[in-house]
């Protein structure tokens, strides 16, 4: 109870700060950043597409770490295993949200820039595979009711995380329709200095938002776990009363 009294105000302050940063970042992206010479205003999708894509490759590692912790603690310390499991499902859902946005904004940008919604190049295909892996993780958690569900999901998570470096390196390992890396893509890569503030603030804003969602979803899962435990305890007590 004491912890929630501290977390509540901190959470509200964090949310207000996050919305402020996102609003400022969006203003920079739409109104302040210069118009790109080749693609015009459509290029401004970049300021949402790239930050969310970057974050969609980070949250899987939160899920990966939490799943490893779950597999380690499940027989040693059930309470820590429950905590790890809550982090795992929260991070998986946030991953799906960010990966969905990455794919959607990419398709819209691709339609405008290339004239096609989709192509089966390495970057797009591996990113779609990442999205499918985490959707399947969530479906397993949702639809399976065996005692092994959490363990199976944790193992799936370990394999799903393998796709992340493949997505990241795909545009360097293979020739793709997707553009070369903006950062670290060679001597001709890099972002114009006038575009960097908009990009940087959007990275910060969407990272703060992702952290907020992750913690909020984690707290929801912890509340659900406590509710299930309470229901199980009441069922046990009721059966003991009947047995008397």
Partner 1 sequence: MEAHHLLWAYLAVWLIQGGYCVWIAWQWMHTPDCSGMESTDSRPIHEDS
Query: Which of 77, 165, 180, 192 contacts partner 1 by CB under 8 A?
Result: 77
Contact 130, 160 (CB under 8 A): yes
Nearer to partner 1, 192 or 230 (CB): 230
Distance between CA atoms of 190 and 197, rounded to whole angstroms?
14
Most distant CA atoms of the chain, gap in Å: 81
Residue numbers 21-60 binding partner 1 by CB under 8 A: 26, 30, 39-45, 48-49, 52
**Do residues 63 and 91 lie in contact, with contact meaning Cβ atoms separated by under 8 Å?**
yes
Encode 195-224: b = buried (16+ Cβ within 10 Å), e = exposed. beebbebbbbbbbbbbbbbbbebbeebbee
Q: Using an 8 Å Cβ cutoff, are 189 and 120 in contact?
A: no
| Binder of partner 1 out of 54, 68, 71, 108 (CB under 8 A) | 108
What would the x/- binding string for partner 1 be over residues 151 to 190, using CB under 8 A? x---------------------------------------
User: Which of 13, 23, 180, 226 touches partner 1 (CB under 8 A)?
Assistant: 226
Q: Are 167 and 126 in contact (CB under 8 A)?
A: yes
Contact between 220 and partner 1 by CB under 8 A: the answer reads yes
Instruction: Give the 3-state secondary structure of residue 40.
Output: strand
Residue selected from 58, 112, 140, 211 as contacting partner 1 according to rule CB under 8 A: 112
Is residue 211 at the binding interface for partner 1, with CB under 8 A as the rule?
Answer: no
Give the interface with partner 1 as residue ranges (CB under 8 A).
1, 4, 26, 30, 39-45, 48-49, 52, 74, 77-79, 81-82, 93, 97, 100-101, 104-105, 108-109, 111-113, 146-148, 150-151, 209, 213, 216-217, 219-220, 222-224, 226-227, 229-230, 232-233
């Amino acid at each position: 109870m004491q912890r929630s009294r501290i977390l509540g105000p901190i959470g509200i302050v964090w949310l207000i700060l996050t919305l402020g940063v996102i609003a400022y970042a969006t203003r920079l992206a739409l109104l302040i950043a210069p118009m790109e010479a080749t693609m015009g205003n459509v290029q401004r999708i970049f300021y949402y597409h790239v930050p969310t894509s970057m974050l969609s490759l980070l949250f899987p590692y939160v899920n990966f770490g939490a799943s490893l912790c779950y597999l380690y603690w499940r027989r040693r310390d059930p309470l820590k295993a429950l905590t790890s499991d809550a982090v795992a499902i929260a991070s998986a859902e946030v991953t799906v949200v960010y990966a969905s946005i990455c794919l959607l904004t990419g398709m819209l940008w691709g339609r405008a820039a290339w004239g096609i919604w989709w192509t089966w190049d390495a970057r797009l295909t591996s990113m779609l595979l990442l999205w499918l892996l985490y959707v399947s993780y969530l479906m397993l958690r949702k639809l399976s009711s065996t005692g092994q569900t959490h363990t199976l999901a944790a193992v799936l998570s370990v394999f799903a995380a393998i796709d992340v470096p493949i997505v990241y390196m795909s545009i360097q390992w293979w020739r793709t329709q997707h553009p070369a890396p903006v950062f670290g893509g060679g001597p001709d890569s890099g972002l114009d200095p006038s575009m960097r503030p908009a990009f940087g603030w959007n990275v910060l804003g969407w990272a703060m938002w992702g952290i907020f969602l992750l913690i909020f979803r984690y707290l929801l899962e912890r509340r659900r776990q406590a509710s299930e435990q309470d229901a199980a305890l009441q069922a046990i007590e009721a059966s003991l009363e009947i047995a008397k």
